[in-house]
Amino acid sequence: MDKEISTQKPVAKGAPEKVTNRDIFRAWIRFYFADEIPHSFDRYIAPALMWALMPILRKLYKDEDQLKAAYKRHLLFFNTQISWGGGVLTGIMASLEQTRAQETYENKELTITDDLIYNTKAGLMGALAGIGDSIDSGTVQYIFIAIALPWAQQGSAIGAIFPFVAFSVYQVLIGWYFARTGFKLGRKAATDIVGGSQMQGIIEGLSILGLFMMGILAANYVKVTSSLQWTLSGKKFELQEILNTVLPGLLPLVVVGGVYFYFVKRGLKVTRALIGLTVILGVLAAIGIL
């Protein structure tokens, strides 16, 4: 991160100061910890973003009226996912405000208007939230939970603490990366971060890893066995013993696969899936198959 140099020349009165990586990091950390605290019905988490940007805005706008106007710009409705959306947009907003402040100080025609700033937020906050929720909440956090499950089963407190701590550290680090990159790239950030080949590779890699972890969880924690047995030519056969020899975990795989295909065909109707699965397994158990 950039460090402030005490020997630098004094900034001209009214001129915006340089925004450093330290400022961006501070803004991101402020947003991370304030994210849901000022949540309101009409603004949602806009006050959190405004509070995060306050130190940067103070450096950029020396005129009190301009500073107040900047605060008001970031108090309009805003809601997004904390790291992917919050990180990227914290960086982009700092970049746009820096350009606007410089244009204002030099009395140039404003290219960074109020509408542009808000429309950038409004256009990106939903898209980035969708990506962030699917990757972070839908994949990454369950990877940490899967890692900690054996510790939890052994009665270790680490099994409960590790997913929370690891996920928090992950979000701080990836959010800082997005905030820094968003500031560096400005309005191009969303295209370059989310649409870039490197980021697409990361997303695909996490998705594949998530599928592996879900498979591991299904194999280890979905317990479905068969009690079906029969006698042939005086010899007793047990279906579960045969399956354990030929293909262990086949029945849990069939159950998980059946639920997955139900969701694909019928949509994410969890309650119906649970009721239907309970009825089917109950009938199979009653007739001696499971």
Q: How far apart are CA 225 and CA 236, in angstroms?
A: 18
pLDDT score recorded for residue 90: 92
Local structure of residue 3 (DSSP, 8 states) = -
Q: How far apart are CA 53 and CA 245, in angstroms?
A: 62
pLDDT score recorded for residue 7: 43
- Look at residue 25 and tell me whether its pLDDT is greater than 80: yes
Q: How far apart are CA 222 and CA 224, in angstroms?
A: 6
65-109 residue pLDDT tens: 899 999 999 998 999 989 888 998 999 999 999 988 888 888 888
Please name which of 180, 2, 186 lies closest in space to residue 97, comparing C-alpha atoms: 186
Cβ neighbours of residue 34 closer than 8 Å, sequence gap 6 or more: 47, 48, 51, 52
- Determine which helix (DSSP H) or strand (DSSP E) holds 17, and give its type and residue range: none
- pLDDT category of residue 202 using cuts at 50, 70 and 90: low
* DSSP output for 112-125: S-HHHHHHHHHHHH
- Look at residue 54 and tell me whether its pLDDT is greater than 90: yes
* Residue scoring higher pLDDT (156 or 223): 156
Q: How far apart are CA 261 and CA 222, in angstroms?
A: 17
pLDDT score recorded for residue 9: 42
C-alpha Rg value of the chain to the nearest Å:
27
150-175 residue pLDDT tens: 888 888 888 889 989 999 999 999 99
* DSSP output for 122-183: HHHHHHHHHHHIIIIIIIIHHHHHHHHHHHHHTT-THHHHHHHHHHHHHHHHHHHHHHHHHH
245-272 residue pLDDT tens: 667 667 777 777 777 777 777 776 777 7
* Residue scoring higher pLDDT (248 or 40): 40
The average pLDDT across 240-246 equals 68
Q: How far apart are CA 63 and CA 107, in angstroms?
A: 14
- Look at residue 186 and tell me whether its pLDDT is greater than 60: yes
Please name which of 49, 44, 24, 23 lies closest in space to residue 34, comparing C-alpha atoms: 49
* Residue scoring higher pLDDT (246 or 33): 33
- Determine which helix (DSSP H) or strand (DSSP E) holds 235, and give its type and residue range: strand 235-238
Please name which of 117, 3, 122 lies closest in space to residue 57, comparing C-alpha atoms: 117
